[in-house]
Amino acid sequence: MRNIPFFLAFVISLTFGSGLSAQESGDGQSFTVEIEQDQQLKTVELIYDKVRLGNGPVDVEFRAISMAGRFSEKIEGVAKVVIQGKERSLIFEKGVSKTKIELGSSGKEDILIPGIDSFRVEVKVIPAWLSILPPLIAIVLALVIKEVVASLLLGIFAGAFILTGLSFEGIGIAFLRVIDTYIIGSLLDRGHLAVVLFSTMIGGMVALVSRNGGMAGIVHKFSAYAKSGRSSQLITWALGIAIFFDDYANTLIVGNTMRPVTDRFKVSREKLSYLVDSTAAPVAAVAFVTTWIGAELGYIKDAVSNLNISESAYSIFLNSLQYAYYPFFTIFFMFLLIWMRRDYGPMWTAEDRAYKTGVLNLPSAHAFDDGQSGQNSDYETIPGVKINWWNAFLPVLLVVVATIVGLIYTGLEVSQEQIKVMAGYNESQSTWAQLGLLSQEGPAGWFRKLGIVIGNADAYNSLLWASFSGLLLALLLSVLRGIMKLHQAVEVMLTGFRTMLMAMLILTLAWSISKVTEDLHTADYITSLVSGNVPVWLLPAITFVLAGLIAFATGTSWGTMAILYPLSLPAAWQLAQVSGLDSASQMELMYHMASVVLAGSVLGDHCSPISDTTIMSSLASDCNHLQHVKTQMPYAMTVGGVAILCSLLASALALPFWMIFLIGGSLLWAIVRFFGRKYDWSS
């Protein structure tokens, strides 16, 4: 929740007379920078996709090449070009000018730069529906052959092959692009690399606190409260809600901490993974102070900036929570399952297997380890070591506290820079005291200020600092308390790192196929399939389904929000005005639309086997990944179906929000009561 495009390039030399500077080229040219003799404009490199899926414009990038034959960022200004018989201005900034060109069915178009030369843009047009094949191949193969790595690699290769134009010679190119463009491109993303690093460090910390007796101490300590399968699941559920500030931190901390506790009471890894996954994004998505809030507000603000709406993005977000059915219903649905001691579908089968056979995870099908799962001796307490829950509690507590401190620290830094350029900034006052300047609603209270700070925070740095601190503390506790020698502790830490290798590989491949879908404009194609003239009351439900489909196909809730918010909110605003709704009803529709984009994104993310948070939930719970997807999907779809019904009731009948939540909650209770199978072993 959270892009290196594939371009084919050709270079056309546009040579000026010897000794001419860019300022002297004439004929409409108006490059106005002063450049050194060896930095004069010599050629223009034209970069664009040589393949286009379906209709739509082609993104073209002009890059200035100096007389020395190198790309030059010093060349700036305006150049006149003629495209499709019409004059257009290209604005060069740091040597680059980007524009869009609408191509006809032939896929060709001439470009003329007066006084210099003319050339042709030519692309190969292939059917737009092919854009959905790569994620579809990856998802279907993963579910059929039960091999995630091979399925993701084939999906990435299929996307790269499509982007070569489906040519025979493109097979070899596509094979190379899998590694040099998509996998490397994913790892070059700073956020992705941060996730790999802090996940790996968490793995090292877990190995240390397991071997030094800390995790066994946690199990013993929680056993005083977790006296059954039901109570251990309730504690997991409550802890998932308590760690609300970030979905990644939530997943890794809750899964790793509660796994030994739930194992003790024969709770299946599938059930644990579901509890971990479904208290991560749903909680982080609707809480007021989370790492999600900045992205959410940014998307909403950009989407409504030109709609003449006086309300701030934060106000729209707060008002949208009354329509956030899927996140709230998911949290309530989990509680019902635990409290009523009922499950159904594949989850009941998993729970029944775990209790009757003691097999907490499917044998010989583990996604992230050597097949031993919880039996791995690398995670057993060192013989003779006295168990002490502080050995695990202190590092975990440090991770939580350091994450919060890091979020506040980085958020205040960014907020200070934003405030300094605003009218009303007072150098003598603290940043906290002036946070109201960043609130479009005027003076901000303590809670609103905290929301602004967290929204501006660097979540990746915070998590890196926190996981590194927790790892170091676990190492020091193991050595200074005489539990291990330094070299033994380092070896245990490295063992923890190694156990994360397969998980990080799958996560990297999931990011890679997400980049493939971005280059193929898969989300745009799915949007075009379901968009059109629809009644106002039906628009939120359709948008919810669309968001779910895009998030399922791309594996990213944040990416889905980035795509749909700029499309759906202006469209809803325009449709509301055309339909003659009064101003209050127009804003209610905007609140509803802002909510369904968020909720649908989380639903699709929950169901997608290529979602990073779904993979991380399997990882943290040491659960077979495909089993996690298989058992969680029916529950997510159940809650999603109830959320769609409630959305329709809210739009069509304009019922008050408390009545909608009462209806939805009652439906979920009835589903668990009459479809769930009760068991006694969790009592």
Specify the pLDDT at position 379: 60
Q: Mean of the pLDDT values across residues 232-260? A: 80
Specify the pLDDT at position 260: 85
Q: Which two tokens stand for residue 495?
A: 């063992």
Residues 6+ apart with CB under 8 A from 193: 187
Q: Work out the end-to-end distance of the chain between its first and last CA atoms, rounded to an integer number of angstroms.
A: 36
pLDDT digits (tens, 9 = 90+) for 192-245: 788 788 878 887 887 888 788 887 777 677 767 888 888 889 989 988 887 776
The H or E element that residue 31 is part of is strand 30-31
Q: Mean of the pLDDT values across residues 459-468? A: 84
Question: Regarding predicted confidence, which is higher, 622 or 294?
Answer: 622
The H or E element that residue 439 is part of is none
Whether 239 and 204 have beta carbons less than 8 Å apart is answered as no
Tell me how far apart the alpha carbons of residues 40 and 25 are, in angstroms, rounded to a whole number. Answer: 11
Q: Which two tokens stand for residue 85?
A: 């018989």
Roughly what angle, to the nearest 10 degrees, separates helices 190-211 and 247-264? Answer: 30
pLDDT digits (tens, 9 = 90+) for 45-90: 777 777 766 666 777 888 877 777 778 787 777 777 776 677 777 7
pLDDT category, 35, cuts 50, 70, 90? very low
pLDDT category, 454, cuts 50, 70, 90? confident
How many CA atoms within 13 Å lie on the side-chain side of 552? 20
Is 90 exceeded by the pLDDT of residue 636? yes
Is 50 exceeded by the pLDDT of residue 1? no
Residues 6+ apart with CB under 8 A from 368: 499, 500, 502, 503, 506, 618, 619, 622, 625
Is 90 exceeded by the pLDDT of residue 665? yes
Specify the pLDDT at position 318: 78
Distances (CA, A) of 169 to 107, 123, 172, 199, 359: 20, 16, 6, 39, 49
Specify the pLDDT at position 264: 86
Question: Regarding predicted confidence, which is higher, 182 or 23?
Answer: 182
Is 70 exceeded by the pLDDT of residue 118? no
How many CA atoms within 13 Å lie on the side-chain side of 384? 3
The sheet with strand 96-102 has its strands ordered as 8-12, 41-48, 57-66, 96-102
Tell me how far apart the alpha carbons of residues 628 and 274 are, in angstroms, rounded to a whole number. Answer: 7
Strand partners, 61: 47, 98
Q: Which two tokens stand for residue 194?
A: 């941060």
pLDDT digits (tens, 9 = 90+) for 523-561: 677 766 765 667 888 889 998 998 898 888 878 787 778
Whether 347 and 631 have beta carbons less than 8 Å apart is answered as yes
pLDDT digits (tens, 9 = 90+) for 38-47: 345 666 777 7
Q: DSSP class of residue 179?
A: I
Specify the pLDDT at position 469: 92
Q: DSSP class of residue 44?
A: E
Question: Which of 394, 587, 539 is closest to 480 using CA atoms?
Answer: 394
Tell me how far apart the alpha carbons of residues 287 and 290 are, in angstroms, rounded to a whole number. Answer: 6
Question: Regarding predicted confidence, which is higher, 38 or 464?
Answer: 464
What is the dihedral angle through the alpha carbons of 651, 655, 658, 659, rounded to the nearest 10 degrees?
-110
pLDDT category, 104, cuts 50, 70, 90? low
The H or E element that residue 366 is part of is none
Is 80 exceeded by the pLDDT of residue 173? yes
Tell me how far apart the alpha carbons of residues 180 and 419 are, in angstroms, rounded to a whole number. Answer: 41
Specify the pLDDT at position 36: 34
Specify the pLDDT at position 518: 78
Delineate the domains of the chain, giving CATH numbers in brackets.
8-126 (2.60.40), 129-188 (no CATH)
Question: Which of 557, 566, 573, 632 is closest to 268 using CA atoms?
Answer: 632
Distances (CA, A) of 326 to 167, 195, 278, 422, 640: 44, 26, 11, 38, 6
Specify the pLDDT at position 14: 29
Specify the pLDDT at position 41: 60
pLDDT category, 345, cuts 50, 70, 90? very high
pLDDT digits (tens, 9 = 90+) for 432-448: 877 777 765 556 677 67
pLDDT digits (tens, 9 = 90+) for 281-338: 898 888 765 657 666 766 777 777 777 776 667 678 878 999 999 999 999 999 999 9
Specify the pLDDT at position 109: 66
Residue 14: CB atoms within 10 A of its CB come to 18
Is 70 exceeded by the pLDDT of residue 657? yes
Q: How far is CA 671 from the centre of its chain?
A: 30
Specify the pLDDT at position 680: 63
Q: Mean pLDDT over all residues of the chain?
A: 78
pLDDT category, 116, cuts 50, 70, 90? low
Tell me how far apart the alpha carbons of residues 546 and 583 are, in angstroms, rounded to a whole number. Answer: 26
